Chains A and B, each alone.
Chain A
Amino acid sequence: MRWRDTVRTATEAVRTHRLRSALTMLGILIGITAVILTVGLGNGAKADVRDQINELGTNILVVSPGSTTDSDGLRGGFGSASTLTTQDAAALASADNAPDVQAVAAVTSSSVSLVNGDTNWTTTIMGTTPSWQEVRSREVTSGRFIDQDDVDDAALVVVLGPDTADELFDGGNAVGQTVTYDGTSLEVIGVLEELSSSEQTSNNDLAIVPESTYAERLVGGSDRNSVSSIYVKASSEGALSAAYQEADATLLNLHGITSADDADFSIATQESILTAASSVDKTMTVMLGGIAVISLLVGGIGVMNIMLVSVTERIREIGLRKAIGARPRNIRRQFLVEASVLGLAGGLLGVLLGIVGAVLLPRFADARVILSVPASLLAIAMAIGIGVVFGVYPASRAARLAPIDALRNE
C-alpha cells in the first residue's frame, strides 16, 4: 500500500467522523494553547524584569537591608526593622570613604493613595534626596525637582511622575496645584520627564517627596532614619567594582561588622540582579512548563480514548479491509496516521489560538506575552508526537483483529 493512500484513508476517517475528531482535537488544542501561552507569558515576564533591571543603569549599585548568604540568592533582613539608615547614605556620599562614588540617593517608599478633588490614584510614594535625580538620570519637564531646602524644611512638596500627573490632573497642568495624601496637602512643584522606552509603568507612575517630609509628616515609621534602599552611582562604569568595594567596606565599618559573612546589608549590581532574576525565571518556567505538559498529557489520553472507541466502532470496517487484503501493518499505519493527523490539526489550531490569545490577553490583563517560534514549532511536533505515542496502542489493537470479525460483528 502506498503512503499516499494510507494518509488519504486516515484523513477520510477523520473527516467522516467530524464531531468525534473535533472533540479529540479540542483536547490537544487546549494543551498546545496552554504551552504557547505559558511560554509566552514566561518570556514576557522575563523581558519585563530584564527591562526593569536594565533601566537601573550599568553603573548603579543598590544597597538593600538584609544579607546575602550566597551569590545566587538574596535573603531578607533580620526581623522587620531596616538595617539601613540615612547615616549610611551620608557615609557613602563622603568622598573620603568612597572616592569612586559620584552620587548617593537613599529611598524609602510605600504604596499610597493620592487625591485631587474627586480623583483618586494609587501610586508609589518615595522619600528621597535631591541627588535621586542625578543617580537615576531623570529630567524634569515642568517645574523643578526637590532641593536641599525642601529637605531641611520637610516641605510639603511633591514631584510627580508623568503618568501620575496625567491621572490626577486629567492631562492638565499639575505644577502649582495640590494633591492630598491622608489629609495632608502637598504642592506639586514638578513633573518628571516621561521614560518613553520603558515598559515599566513604575518609572512613570510615582510621587517623590523629600525624605524628611516622608518620614516626619507623611508615612513615618518606628525608625525615622531607616531607608528601604540606597542607590549608589559610581563615577563611571569602569569604577563600579571599586565603588562596590568602597561601599562594602564603609558600611561594614559603620555597622561594626568584622566579617563580611555577617553583613546586615547586601549590595547588588545590575548583573547580580539579572542573575538572581533569571534563576527565578527558571523556576517559573519549570512550573508553567509542568502545567502545560500535564494538560498535553490529558489531551494525549483523550486521543488514545477516542482512538480505542474508534477501533471498536470500526471492527467491521477493519475486518473487511483485512478480508480484501490489508496487511496488519496497513491497518496499524492507518490508525497511527489518523491519530497523528488529529494531533497535527489540534496542534496547528492550538498555535493559532495561542497567537490569538497572545494578542488579546494584554488588552484585558496587565500581562506581556512574547511568542516564541521555536516553542510553537516544538509544540506542534509534540502534538504529532502525542498523536503517535497515544495512537500506538489502539492502532496495534486494530491491526491484530481477525478479519472474520467483519462478518460476525454487528
Chain B
Amino acid sequence: MSAVLELHDVTKVYAAGELEVKALAGVTLDIHEGEMVAVIGPSGSGKSTLMHILGCLDVPTAGTFRLAGEDVSELDEDRLADLRNRHIGFVFQQFNLLAYLPAWRNVELPLVYAGVEPHERHERALAALGQVGLANRAEHKPGELSGGQQQRVAIARALVTEPALILADEPTGNLDSTSTGEVLDLLDALHRSGRTVVLITHEADVADRAQRVIQIRDGLVWQEPDHAVA
C-alpha cells in the first residue's frame, strides 16, 4: 500500500497579534490508500489544523505535505481548487450547507464547479442522496431537515464526486447517538468501498470504528496506539 498522504515535519504557526500560536509543531505522518484513520486529542491540540492541511484548505508554515506524491506547496490556487473538487470530500462539524438551496442543489454543488452538465448533475445528486437514505428529501431545504439529516446531506455532497479521500472534522459533534450511528455507518461504508477516510473525533466509541487511531497533543503526534479492530 502506497501512502496517499505524506506529512514530513509539518508545522503551522498562527500569528495572533504579538503572540505566536504553534498549532502544529512538527508532524510526520503517512496515511495509506484505503485506510480509515481516527484523529483524537484534546481541544486545541491542532486536529482541525491538521485536517485543513490534509484537505488543501490551508498550507503548512514549514515542512512538506505530499498528496498522491505531489508536493502541494508547488500547486497554484486553481490546481488546489481542482484537487479539492475531484479528490477530496470534506464533512464539517457545522454541516456548512447553503440554507437557500434544497438538499439536492447542495449536493450537486461540487459537480457545478467540476463543469458537469446539469442533467447528469441532477441524477448524480439524487443517487448520492439515495446512498445516504435521503432520496425522499431532495427538495427540502436544510432548515427543514434534522441535524442528522443535514449531516447526511453534507456527506452526500462529499461523496457525489466519488473522491478517493474523505475528511471529516468531528462529523458527529453536533448529533445525538442515533444520528451519530447513522453517520458513522455511512463513513464505514465509504471506507469499505475503498476510500481513504480520515475523521476527527472526541469520542472513544467513534474512534473504535477506525483501523488506526492517531493521537494529537500540543501540535504533535503523541502516540499511535495499536488499535484492535472490534
Docked CA distance A402–B98 (Å):
18
- Asked whether any CB of chain A lies closer than 8 Å to the CB of B68, the reply is no
Q: A316-340: which have CB < 8 Å to B?
A: 316-317, 320-330
Q: Are B113 and A403 in contact (CB under 8 A)?
A: no
Q: Chain B residues with Cβ under 8 A from A320's Cβ?
A: 96, 98
CB distance from A329 to the nearest CB of B (A): 8
Nearest residue, chain B, Cβ from A314: B98
Interface bits B62-96 vs A (CB < 8 Å: 1, else 0): 00000000000000011001101110001010101
- Stretch of B35-43, B52-60, B187-195 with 4 or more beta carbons under 8 angstroms from chain A: B52-60
Docked CA distance A153–B78 (Å):
98
- Asked whether any CB of chain A lies closer than 8 Å to the CB of B48, the reply is yes
How many A residues have CB within 8 A of the partner chain? 25
- Asked whether any CB of chain B lies closer than 8 Å to the CB of A356, the reply is no
- Asked whether any CB of chain B lies closer than 8 Å to the CB of A197, the reply is no
Q: Are A325 and B58 in contact (CB under 8 A)?
A: no
CB distance from A63 to the nearest CB of B (A): 74
Docked CA distance A2–B113 (Å):
8
Q: Chain A residues with Cβ under 8 A from B86's Cβ?
A: 325
Q: How large is the interface on B (under 10, 10 to 19, 20 to 34, 35 or more residues)?
A: 20 to 34
Tell me the dominant secondary structure on chain A's binding face: helix
- Asked whether any CB of chain B lies closer than 8 Å to the CB of A5, the reply is yes
Q: A287-335: which have CB < 8 Å to B?
A: 316-317, 320-330
Tell me the dominant secondary structure on chain B's binding face: helix
- Asked whether any CB of chain A lies closer than 8 Å to the CB of B219, the reply is no
Nearest residue, chain B, Cβ from A13: B100
CB distance from A323 to the nearest CB of B (A): 6
CB distance from A319 to the nearest CB of B (A): 8
Docked CA distance A12–B94 (Å):
23
- Asked whether any CB of chain B lies closer than 8 Å to the CB of A404, the reply is yes
Docked CA distance A220–B111 (Å):
90
Q: B145-168: which have CB < 8 Å to A?
A: 157, 161
Q: Are A404 and B52 in contact (CB under 8 A)?
A: yes
Q: Are B96 and A406 in contact (CB under 8 A)?
A: yes
Q: Chain A residues with Cβ under 8 A from B101's Cβ?
A: 12
Nearest residue, chain A, Cβ from B86: A325
Docked CA distance A98–B52 (Å):
99
Partner of B112, one of A1, A403, A406: A1
Q: Are B77 and A328 in contact (CB under 8 A)?
A: yes
Using A1-B112, A325-B86 as known contacts, say yes or no to A402 and B96 having CB atoms under 8 A apart: no
Interface bits A15-43 vs B (CB < 8 Å: 1, else 0): 01000000000000000000000000000
Interface centre among B81, B90, B114 (most CB of A within 10 A): B81
Beyond the given A325-B85, A406-B96, could you list 15 further A-B residue pairs with CB under 8 A, ordered by the A residue number? A1-B112, A2-B112, A2-B115, A9-B112, A12-B100, A320-B96, A323-B55, A323-B84, A324-B109, A325-B84, A327-B78, A327-B113, A404-B52, A404-B58, A406-B92
| Closest 3 pairs between A and B when the two form their complex, measured CB to CB | A325-B85, A325-B113, A327-B81
By a beta-carbon cutoff of 8 Å, the part of chain A in contact with chain B is: 1-2, 4-5, 9, 12, 16, 316-317, 320-330, 402-404, 406-407
| A-B residue pairs in contact (CB < 8 Å), sample of 19 | A1-B112, A5-B118, A12-B101, A16-B100, A321-B113, A322-B81, A324-B84, A324-B109, A324-B110, A324-B157, A325-B82, A325-B86, A325-B110, A325-B113, A329-B78, A404-B58, A406-B96, A407-B48, A407-B94
By a beta-carbon cutoff of 8 Å, the part of chain B in contact with chain A is: 48, 52, 55, 57-58, 77-78, 81-82, 84-86, 90, 92, 94, 96, 98, 100-101, 109-110, 112-115, 118, 157, 161, 169
